[in-house]
Structure 1
C-alpha cells in the first residue's frame, strides 16, 4: 500500500502561533488597550496538546492567572493524551476490556463526548481513532486503506458501546477513545474559569485556534477575530464577539493528496470511514462553552450544509458560519451583524440562515 506524507496546510504571518495550527482564527490587531482604561497586559505562549497556544490577559492578577492556566493545560494533556503511556486515555485504550477508574476531569470530558455523540447522531464519534490511524492521520504516514479494511475497523467503532458509570469506564477490547474533537474546547472552558476566578475580566485564550474570550477587550469593545480563508491565504472576514468561544473546523487544515490526485482530509465521516467530502470548506461555531463549540464544529462539518442547518434550527445556544467549497458563505441570524467580509472577499455570496 502506497504511503504519502501529510500536507499540513500551515501558514506564516504576524500571529504564527495561530497560523501554525491552521484553525483559521486569529485576534485582529487592535485588541490592545486603548483610551483611558490602562490595564497591564500579560502573555503566555507555549506548546501543548500538539499545538501552539497563546494566552493574553489584562489586569493586576493576569500574570498569575495565566501561570495557573498553563499548568492546567499541561495537567489535562497528561491525562488525555492518546500516545502518552502514562495518560488515563492510554490506560483505557490498552485495558483489554477491563474497567478503568478515571479522574474527575477525564470522566467529565469523556461523558461530554459521549453525550454529544448521541446528540449529533454519531456525527461526533470519539471512538473513530482506529480508522483515523489506518489513514495515517495519527502518524503522518498517510495511506489510502482498502474498503475491506475500513469496514473491518468500523466494527470497532461506536460510542454506544462505551460504558461510563461515574468515574468507571469499560471500553470493549479493540476499541480506542480519542478526545481530539472535544479536548481543547473542554480545556478552554476549564482554563477560562481559572482566569475568571483569579479576578481577570478581560482575556483572550487561543488554544490552538480554539479561541476562548473572557469578557471583552480592556477598552470595553468586542474582540475582533479574523476568520482565515479555507481557500488559501488571507482572511474572509472579521467576527466581533465577547465572552464566548469561537471554534473552526475544516479539511483544509490537514490533508494529503493520493496518487489518484484527490485530496483526503483528516475529518472522517464515522458512517463511511472515509474523509468528509460534502461540499463544505469550513465550519465556525460561536457559542458560550468551548467544549460545545469544539464538538459542534466537527459534527456540523460531518453533517454538511443541509444537515448543519437542520440541526441549528432545532437546537439553541450556538451560531455558525458555513463556507462552501464553491465560495458561498452561510451565517446564522444571531451573528449576522457581528460578521464583516474583508475587501478581498466582498463579492462572496452570503446567505443568512433563519429559524
Structure 2
C-alpha cells in the first residue's frame, strides 16, 4: 500500500453549481471547496428543479479510505455501482481474506480465477517483463519478512532474504487465457496484487461513470486519484501533489482531465531499527528497501492500472533508469520525480500542466538522461 497524500483542489464556484468538480496510500483530501457535508453519503440538488446533480460517498476498503464523487444525471446510480465494484474487487483480491481468490491461489499454488483477477495477473507479468523485474507481485513473502504485512517490523536475516528472492521468478507462472487458470511458478511463491489493484479499481469506476453517462467525476482510493471528464467550464481539475520533504506543503499543482494521478514513496510507511529507517517499497532484486535518491514518483496516465504499477516500478528503478523507461514509453504516461534533495524532474508531456516553485528540470525525449 502506498502511503502518499494527494490533494484535489476544486473551484468553489464549480461546487456551488453542483457540476463538474475537479494516486498504496493514506488518504486523499479534497480541500475546503469540496462539499462540506459530514455524512459518508451525500447528494446535492439543483434548487430550481430538485434534480440530483451530484453525489459522493466515503468508503473504507482495500485497507484505506476512499471517496467517490459523480456529477450530472445518474450520479447517484454511478456512486452506488462504484461502491459495489470496490467491495467486490476488495473481497476478490485481498490477501487478508482467506476466502479471496488470491489467498486461495497462494495456498494451493494453482487455480481458476475470475476474469478480473486473471487480467491483473496477466498485466502484472507484462509489467514484470517491461520493467526488468522492478514490478514483481511475488514480493509478498519478502514484505511479510520485513513485517510490512502485519506491522511486526524487523530487518530480516540476509540468508532468509536470499532464499525468498530465489522463489520470485515470475517467468515460471503459467496462464491459460481460455480457462483463466493460473499456475504459480513454485510451491513457495505467493503473490499480492496490491501494487496494481487500486489503479485497476479506479479505472473500473471510470467505466461505470461512462456507462451511467455522468458529466464528470473523481475517485480517490487512498491517494490514487483518477479523474473523469473536466470541470463544468471545461477546464482541468487541479491536483496538488504532496511534498515528501515537507509534509505540510505541496511540491506542485497538476492540472489534468481524464487521467489517473498516482504517487508512490516510502516516506510515510517505514520503521526504524538501530537508528536507520526502512521503508516499504522493496527492490525485488535485493530484498531491501529501494535506496537510490528518489523520494516519490507520480505517474500521470489515462490508464489507472498502468499508472499504479509504474509508480512503484519507477521508484525502484531510480531516476536515471526511470527516465530512460519514460523515454521509451512516453506515449503511455508522464511522470514527476522528486529527489531527496528536493529537486524535481518533470517529463515534457506535462510541462505546461505542472506548476511548482521548487527547483525543477523539464526532461525531454532527447535529453532524458539529464
Q: Under a length normalisation based on structure 1, what TM-score does the superposition of the two structures give? A: 0.89
Post-superposition shift, 1:219?
2.7
Post-superposition shift, 1:31?
6.4
Aligned equivalent of 1:117:
128
Post-superposition shift, 1:235?
1.1
Which residue among 336, 341, 353 is the counterpart of 1:321? 336
Which residue among 256, 270, 282 is the counterpart of 1:255? 270
Aligned equivalent of 1:234:
249
Q: Is 2:203 the counterpart of 1:194? A: no
Structure 2 CA distance for aligned equivalents of residues 37 and 81 of structure 1:
35
Task: Write out aligned runs for 1:297-312 (5 A).
Answer: 297-312=311-326
**CA offsets 1:151-210 (integer angstroms, 9 cap, x no match):** 011112122121111200011211101001100001111111011100113001111111
Structure 2 CA distance for aligned equivalents of residues 80 and 185 of structure 1:
13
Post-superposition shift, 1:37?
8.1
Q: Is 2:303 the counterpart of 1:289? A: yes
Alpha carbons 1:249, 1:282 under 8 Å: kept: yes
Instruction: Tell me the secondary structure at the aligned position of residue 318 of structure 2.
Output: helix
**CA offsets 1:300-354 (integer angstroms, 9 cap, x no match):** 000000000110111121100000001100000111111112xxxx2x2110100
Q: Is 2:174 the counterpart of 1:153? A: no
Structure 2 CA distance for aligned equivalents of residues 115 and 180 of structure 1:
16
Post-superposition shift, 1:44?
0.7
Post-superposition shift, 1:52?
0.5
**Distance 1:22-1:268 versus aligned 2 partners, 3 A rule:** closer
Which residue among 36, 41, 57 is the counterpart of 2:70? 57
Task: Write out aligned runs for 1:17-96 (5 A).
Answer: 22-30=3-11, 33=14, 40-95=53-108
Q: Where does structure 1 lack aligned partners over 5 or more consecutive residues? A: 1-7, 9-20
Alpha carbons 1:226, 1:239 under 8 Å: kept: yes
Structure 1 CA distance for aligned equivalents of residues 114 and 350 of structure 2:
37
Which residue among 177, 182, 193 is the counterpart of 1:179? 193
Aligned equivalent of 1:3:
none
Structure 2 CA distance for aligned equivalents of residues 292 and 114 of structure 1:
12
Alpha carbons 2:19, 2:71 under 8 Å: kept: no
Structure 1 CA distance for aligned equivalents of residues 232 and 70 of structure 2:
9
**Distance 1:38-1:206 versus aligned 2 partners, 3 A rule:** closer
Post-superposition shift, 1:32?
5.9
Aligned equivalent of 1:144:
155
Instruction: Tell me the secondary structure at the aligned position of residue 143 of structure 1.
Output: coil
Instruction: Tell me the secondary structure at the aligned position of residue 74 of structure 1.
Output: helix
Alpha carbons 1:31, 1:217 under 8 Å: kept: no
Post-superposition shift, 1:83?
1.7
Which residue among 101, 117, 130 is the counterpart of 1:106? 117
Instruction: Tell me the secondary structure at the aligned position of residue 127 of structure 1.
Output: helix
Instruction: Tell me the secondary structure at the aligned position of residue 283 of structure 2.
Output: coil
Number of residue pairs the alignment of both structures matches: 328
Instruction: Tell me the secondary structure at the aligned position of residue 125 of structure 2.
Output: helix
Alpha carbons 2:299, 2:311 under 8 Å: kept: yes
Structure 1 CA distance for aligned equivalents of residues 288 and 311 of structure 2:
18
Q: Under a length normalisation based on structure 2, what TM-score does the superposition of the two structures give? A: 0.86
Structure 1 CA distance for aligned equivalents of residues 347 and 272 of structure 2:
33
